[in-house]
Amino acid sequence: MTYLINELAELGWTSFYTSQMQAQIPDGMIPVRVMQVHRGHLVVAGAGREQTIPPFHDDDGDPAGTATVGDWLLLDAASGKPCRLLARRNLFKRRAPGTGREIQLIGANIDTLFIVSSCNQDFNPSRLERYLALARQEGVTPVIVLSKADLTERPQDFAEAARLAPGLLVETMDTRKSDDVACLSGWCGHGQTIALVGSSGVGKSTLINSLIGNQLIDTAEIREQDGKGRHTTTARVLHRLPSGGWLLDTPGMRELQLSGAGDGIGEVFADLEALARQCRFSDCSHDSEPGCAVRHAIASGRIAPKRLANWRKLRAEDARNAESLAERRHRQRDFSKMVRQSMDAKRRSRRE
Ligand SMILES: Nc1nc2c(ncn2[C@@H]2O[C@H](COP(=O)(O)OP(=O)(O)OP(=O)(O)O)[C@@H](O)[C@H]2O)c(=O)[nH]1
Ligand SMILES: [Mg+2]
Ligand SMILES: [Zn+2]
């Protein structure tokens, strides 16, 4: 077994999940966490248990109801079949690239997001801003990891450009070196779940290997001409660290479409949102209206025009993609009902 553990807490189980069951796991049900997602199956682990199950959907038609890596499921002890997807602390998802509007789930129940970008052609502050908005939206601590610092004379310039918000943590490193990656171990403690995101070839798998202290995962050279990766990692897998944390390796993604991240965008662009509140018109579009504080700040050089453009682009994209929150709430209400009914049934049977 890859994931032999005794206590659910080692896998990241907290009272957040127990409280969904009125502080008690219903009889005959076993909580397990989804540790791996492959094309045709999932690998789940629980206390003293590990097994392979087919893909699981809890809610017909709702793509967010599909079990993804990091999710907690309740298995029926008798049949070993999953019967319920527990409510998530957070969910990372994106619109699939291309013209289709299909939702892709990246991972659930994450504590920290390592946003990996390398000190070369891949480096792109607008892409970092997207990931930051996503992290803020989902209530996850973001850490910017700048890999391939050994390939540039001036890694500090990249670090400077990546400091996109006050207090944002930025670390530069050669991810192949365990001494370099050690600065990240503070986030990798007992039961912590860390997701790594970033383009293909930036060194996500290399970073995990260095933190594990072993070359367990496949990595591959990138094409030198354009610096692009070849999608070496194809499954979503939680890797166990010696420090007790869980690192989620995901396939690289170049395009990330935001959806339902309005508050996160607001935090990343707090300076612009504050200025916009000072515009003469509350619905100012910051184009040609008189008394526009945003345009005034741009004219005086305090705000870069590119930043206004990025803010607008992300807000428009987010509004387009916003999923109905009402649908998700509906699903959670149904679950509470099911738990209440099963508890009532148990109480009745005790009394009889
Ligand atoms: N010089 C240098 N090379 C690095 C560094 N980090 C990763 N590499 C190399 O970059 C290549 C790609 O690394 P991977 O770890 O496979 O990249 P990935 O992000 O997992 O890529 P996907 O799985 O395709 O998403 C490998 O050849 C690594 O050895 C670094 O900090 N410096
Ligand atoms: Mg990889
Ligand atoms: Zn304005």
pLDDT at 307: 87
* Residue 172: strand pairing partners: 146
- Nearest Cα neighbor of 112 from 64, 147, 144, 88 is 144
Domain presence at residue 151: yes
Ligand 1 atom closest to 196 (CA) = 19
pLDDT at 104: 81
**Read out DSSP for 66-107?**
B--TT-EEEEETTT--EEEEPPPS-EEEEEPSSS---EEEEE
| Same domain flag for 198 and 229 | yes
Domain presence at residue 203: yes
pLDDT at 336: 61
| Same domain flag for 27 and 149 | no
Q: Which two tokens stand for residue 276?
A: 């916009």
Rounded to the nearest whole angstrom, what is the distance from the C-alpha of residue 105 to the centroid of ligand 2?
Answer: 17
| Same domain flag for 210 and 333 | no
C-alpha span between 350 and 343 (Å, rounded): 11
- Pairing, β 49-53 against β 193-197: unpaired
| Same domain flag for 71 and 175 | no
Decide: 52 and 61 in contact? Cβ < 8 Å: no
Q: Say which CATH number the domain at 195 has.
A: 3.40.50.300
| Same domain flag for 151 and 115 | yes
The alpha carbon of residue 38 and the mean position of all alpha carbons in its chain are separated, in whole angstroms, by 18
pLDDT at 257: 66
Q: Which two tokens stand for residue 304?
A: 């870069």
Rounded to the nearest whole angstrom, what is the distance from the C-alpha of residue 29 to the centroid of ligand 2?
Answer: 35
C-alpha span between 185 and 212 (Å, rounded): 10
CA pseudo-torsion sign 10, 16, 18, 20: negative
User: What residue numbers bound the domain in which 302 lies?
Assistant: 269-321
| Same domain flag for 173 and 215 | yes
Number of domains comprising the chain: 3
Domain presence at residue 256: no
| Same domain flag for 60 and 194 | no
| Same domain flag for 303 and 341 | no
Who lines ligand 1 at CB under 6 A? 147-148, 150-151, 174-176, 200-206, 219-222, 229, 231-233, 251-252
**pLDDT tens per residue across all 352 residues of the chain:** 688 888 999 999 999 999 888 767 888 999 999 999 998 899 999 999 999 999 999 877 777 889 999 999 999 989 999 999 999 999 988 776 665 657 788 899 999 999 999 998 889 888 888 889 888 888 899 999 999 999 999 999 999 999 988 889 999 999 999 999 999 999 999 999 999 998 888 999 999 999 988 767 667 665 444 445 456 667 889 999 999 999 998 877 766 666 667 777 887 888 899 999 999 998 898 988 999 999 999 999 999 898 898 888 888 777 766 544 444 445 556 656 656 666 676 667 666 5
C-alpha span between 109 and 90 (Å, rounded): 5
Ligand 1 atom closest to 252 (CA) = 25
| Same domain flag for 117 and 182 | yes
The secondary structure element, H or E, covering residue 24 is none
What does the angle CA 48 – CA 51 – CA 52 come to, to the nearest 5 degrees?
Answer: 165
Rounded to the nearest whole angstrom, what is the distance from the C-alpha of residue 219 to the centroid of ligand 2?
Answer: 6
Rounded to the nearest whole angstrom, what is the distance from the C-alpha of residue 286 to the centroid of ligand 3?
Answer: 4
| Same domain flag for 119 and 215 | yes
Domain presence at residue 170: yes
pLDDT at 140: 92
Let me know if 227 is exposed, middle or buried by CB neighbors in 10 A (0-12, 13-18, 19+): middle
Residue 236 has, within 13 A of its CA and on its CB side, a CA count of 26
pLDDT at 76: 93
| Same domain flag for 214 and 244 | yes
| Same domain flag for 161 and 241 | yes
Task: Please give the backbone phi and psi of residue 171, each rounded to the nearest 5 degrees, phi first.
Answer: -125, 130
